[in-house]
Structure 1
Amino acid sequence: MSDTTTLHPNQTALITGAAHRIGATTARTLHAHGIDLLLHYRHSTEAAEKLANELNAMRADSVRLLQADLHETGKLPVLIEQAVSAWGRLDILVNNASSFYPTPVGEATTHEWDDLMGSNLKAPFFLSQAAAPHLLQHRGVIINIVDIHAEQPLKGHPIYSMAKAGLVMMTRSLARELGPEIRVNGVAPGAILWPEQGLEESDKSDIIDRTALKRQGQPTDIARAVLFLIREADYMTGQIMTVDGGRSLGY
């Protein structure tokens, strides 16, 4: 990938759920390419502050923190206004924050429905809606972190799979609604990071064995895809870039 940092001065990005995992790696990658960051977190104060300090030590006053519960839909426009006020502009929104856990049919609750739909679909939509007027001013970009299970449902996780499927359609719908000024794309990770609990080693081996590349991916693979969609994909919108080592070729 060519380094186009000098062609995009003073870009700013809001990344939701940025304190850990793919969000933190994406933050480091975008920051390394000259993008100033607004890092959103909900409860992970210590991790968010540590990441911000790390990146600000590399480039002074290039990272700021925003705390919010994305389920509080009415406050999402305020979150966007706080992001814009940091440096007077917003160029990129990365909808990364997500909840993930099983909801077997017969045991699922309305609370789990609201939580999974809220974090994976409702919040990204209303954040995008609030951000759109600001992104419009700079021909901005929205990147949604989707999942390969938006296309192939994950056993035991119907609500999560449905929410991510909705996020795919949201990506396509907003690309049509917000074009030509704003591009909207998504990245669908496969076997990148394992769930924090509930997956046996045998399950991990089976998942890896079903990839064409026979190996697990890394968060940097997703971060580089996000960077590509921001910096190199000027004629792409409404698309989902699948980064799964070829797992979606067949199940």
Structure 2
Amino acid sequence: MTTPDSLPAATRVGRVALRVNDLGRLVEFYRDAVGLAVLDRDEGRATLGAGGTGLLELLADPDAPPRGPDETGLFHTAFLVPSRAALGDALARVRERWRLDGASDHRVSEALYLSDPEGNGIEIYRDRPRDEWPTKGGRVEMDTLPLDIDALEDQRRGEAGVPDETTVGHVHLEVSSLARARGFYVEGLGLGVRQEWSDAALFLAAGDYHHHVGLNTWNGRTAPANGRGLDWFELLVPERALPPLRERLAKEGIEGEDDGQRVVLSDPDGIELRLRADAGSRR
């Protein structure tokens, strides 16, 4: 359900940034196994993406310790491809160059799951047409069902990389408290609740998308992240929505750094969120 001060439906996920030990290895992995293009690279960082748009920032930090088992942070970065054929190509790349952790039919989407060489979770998925999404009471009804991956790979076209239309469809986070995270992302930012799974997961979105941000407490993590892994992620907000969003954040007592075009916040677990004006969207 949207309200006048909800985030506009045109809000979307921008870039995701990871702190990594071995920049060269991670660049090769995301290029060859995931299929992203290397857009820019120097000794300390690399930008990968699709169609000339950056989707993933890799930040070299050779001394960062592995993420601890109690640390909150990234569950997975979810790359959205535009077709079932593109998902079949992704499956073929992963099978050839890496290993698949799982595959699911979520009723709203079909998804592949894997982890990069430093343990960062990845989802590659395609959305089903919206008129096929099951809904009830204004919310989506996602599920986790088996996916026939052999039939999916039969749809592949043999493309070496992801299509230009590929985006980061959503970011899924591991948090210490759903109540506190809900206070920040729903009451604070204005994302809407699209589905709740018992008392352990929330799926949030701007507008009627199935989710832009996932939150879960499945692994009982309680400490802020100090090791490698998620450094920050972006939500791109239409320019006209930033002034009322600033007012909302101030009203909710959420403080951040604001340079006029970007607001940098920390959620209750210290996860950095960057709200950036999206000049390409005025809805």
TM-score (normalised: structure 1): 0.34
TM-score (normalised: structure 2): 0.31
- Higher normalized strand content (fraction of residues): 2
- Higher normalized helix content (fraction of residues): 1
The structure with higher relative contact order (CA 8 Å, sep 6+) is 2
